[in-house]
A and B are shown apart, each in its own frame.
Chain A
Amino acid sequence: MRLDTLPRVDGERALHLLRDYGVYVGVTLIVLFNIAFTPHFLSLENFRTQAVQVAPVLIVALGMALVIATGGIDLSVGSVMALSAAVISLYLGYGPIVAVLIAIVVGALAGTINGVLVAFFGIQAIIATLAMMIGGRGLALVLLPQLDGIRSPGLRALGSGSFLGVPYLVWIAALLVVLVAFLVRRTVFGRRLVAVGGNRRAAELSGLPVRRVLLGVYALCGALAAVAGVLVTARLQAADPNSVGVLIELSAITAVVVGGTPLTGGRVRIAGTVAGAVLMQLLVATLIKHDLPPSWTQMAQTAVIIAAVYLARDRGRT
């Protein structure tokens, strides 16, 4: 019996290790590959470019990780980004700070609507956020029908300026990573959201305010998406509700899943999510640098997503 089961268990352990730490191995491999084969990879300029490009996806992925930890999903993040871009352009007359704050509040509001539908009306997360995805992008386009250039110097500085040689965008993303990691590890709210994802019924029976936790998580995800929308708008120096955040939900979900957070909830890995976002960014950048067409990048991403979900799947069975 023991002889029979031993290798199986080892295989299982290897699989778990691969799931939990595979993303770091992936990042290491792709970095080594680039050092060896990509010219100018190890330049400061390149690191800055990669970091600036990954920042919005990473911020969206943080919110997504929290939602996925509760066993839900948020497909509306891209539309919330568009909404925030539209709102900024509309309220820029009151100064950049007010406009940014209103944009974030609107994002949180959109997330709250998702949360109410999921937590209080028992609607499946996919459908509630799908409706927000359709309606949110539509509303953004009603508010701001076409691309609008941003001339506010403050917002432009946010998009292109840097502090100690590191762009503001990267500082903000790093700060948010630390905050979310703290939230998950050290606060009651963080513990509760993981508990809700682990076993909603048990969480309810042990007296956790399940609905309030869900509401908070979706609102937070909306607010983070709005922040990403602000940053993208600042970097583009234009509010473009038509194309901002299109398909970003897929990149964010991929980053979370590749980072070892199971889609079934009950577990969240913030460091893994960061590594997942970096891995996907480097994968795309590497393929582009080596002159492979964009169509290849999409097919490669498809393969990575399916592989990551496949590795993570056995957790869902237990």
Chain B
Amino acid sequence: MITTSKEAPTASIPWRDLAQRHGALLVLLLVVAVAGMTLDGFLTLGNLNRVLVSASFLAIIALGMTFVIITGGIDLSVGTVFALGGVLAAWASQYGSLALLALPLVVCGLIGLLNGVLIARAGLAPFIVTLATMLGAWGLMLSVSDEGNTTYLVPEGLVLAPLVHGRLFDVLGYSFLLVVAVYVVGGLVLRRTTAGQHVYAVGGDERTAALMGVPVARTKMAVYTLSGLCAGAAGALNAVWLGSGVTIFGIGIELQAISAVVIGGTLLTGGYGFVAGTLAGVLLLGVIQNIINAVGTLTSAFQEVVSGLFLIAVVLVQSRLSGGGRGGP
């Protein structure tokens, strides 16, 4: 252990705070600039729009994850909850757009709430609870989809479909605009509301927060429910996007979401973080994937190697910036 202190970067060392806050954005701009100069067809509207739209589902999941991680927790269940949301949405789409959205949101919100209750009220470790519900959500998804043998299709001509597939002025996909909107709301909630301050307080020091009268258990239950809702909503939108509830999608997306949050400058130890960084992190991962696909000679497996290395590099830099990370689980 290098040091035991766990201080968020302070204003007294401005460059540190700057690097922590905008590191992901700076790297993103750098990568985009380099790729734009070296790769043909990277800086075209079509390609950039493709990056933004395909990043939107991960972005929605990562928003919920940001809240969870700021409280000092983690949610490993979002990947299979995302898949479950997609399958439920596709199944419910026969009853119209409202059902398509409502069913996954209710079920996935309940799974999130279950996580929250087990973590906040029963005092179980977040990673093991969410690891278990990750398996449970997968089981539920399999039982809904006839052990993965049935793929429900989303019928054509839904009210929602043009909203997901459409583009503003034929340029920017609506789904990315939706992402921007939820991030603005998420950022405002986190920064400007009492509930948001509670999230930071719980992550900073749970005991102190409880002594100050912060409703610790309720805050935790709220963030895990939010995370479940985000994953379910992303799954539903993904089902509309693909036109069916694909059962194998989403396994492993929780790792990407966690990576994006961490790359975005949110501390895994809790108490410090912001949603804008997460969005930059998501886009950075999306751009890297796009570049690897564009180069063509590299397989998608290579992407995972880069992601793993990148995650470690960012965590190492962060633990330097914030004066040492904490050991232990």
Contacts and interface: CB of A to CB of B under 8 A. Distances in A.
B329 A126 contact: yes
A134 B255 contact: yes
Nearest to B312: A131
Contact of B135 (A117, A118, A132, A250): A250
Nearest to B298: A142
A118 B325 CA distance: 10
A296 interface: yes
A134 B124 contact: no
Question: Which of A122, A125, A139, A297 is most buried by chain B, counting CB atoms within 10 A of its CB?
Answer: A122
Contacts of B128: 253, 257, 263, 305, 309
A306 B136 CA distance: 11
A168 B308 CA distance: 35
A57 interface: no
B96 interface: no
A196 B138 CA distance: 36
Nearest to B311: A131
B258 A130 contact: yes
Interface class of chain A by DSSP:
helix
Interface in A99-136: 117-119, 121-128, 130-136
Nearest to A117: B312
Contact of B315 (A123, A135, A302): A123
Nearest to B132: A305
Contacts of B324: 122
Interface in B283-329: 299, 301-309, 311-312, 315-316, 319, 324-329
B138 A298 contact: yes
B262 interface: yes
Contact of B308 (A122, A135, A302, A305): A135
Interface string A239-258: 00000000100100100010
A209 interface: no
B110 interface: no
A121 B2 contact: yes
Contacts of A127: 258, 262, 268, 311, 315
A267 interface: no
Interface residues of A, number: 53
A303 B136 CA distance: 8
A250 B131 contact: yes
B142 A294 contact: yes
Contacts of B133: 302
Interface in A273-310: 293-299, 301-303, 305-306, 309-310
Interface string A67-89: 00001110000000000000000
Contacts of A71: 328-329
A184 B99 CA distance: 55
Nearest to B320: A121
B136 A299 contact: yes
Contacts of A125: 328-329
B129 interface: yes
Which 5 residue pairs spanning A and B have beta carbons closest together?
A135-B308, A138-B304, A298-B139, A141-B301, A302-B136
Given A145-B299, A313-B124, 19 more contacts: A117-B312, A118-B327, A123-B312, A123-B319, A124-B325, A130-B311, A133-B308, A134-B307, A135-B304, A135-B311, A135-B312, A137-B301, A139-B304, A200-B328, A295-B143, A298-B135, A301-B132, A306-B118, A316-B123
28 contacts: A118-B327, A122-B324, A122-B326, A123-B319, A124-B327, A124-B328, A126-B74, A127-B262, A130-B258, A131-B311, A134-B311, A136-B308, A141-B299, A141-B301, A142-B301, A145-B299, A293-B142, A295-B142, A298-B135, A298-B139, A299-B135, A303-B136, A305-B135, A309-B128, A309-B132, A310-B122, A313-B122, A313-B123
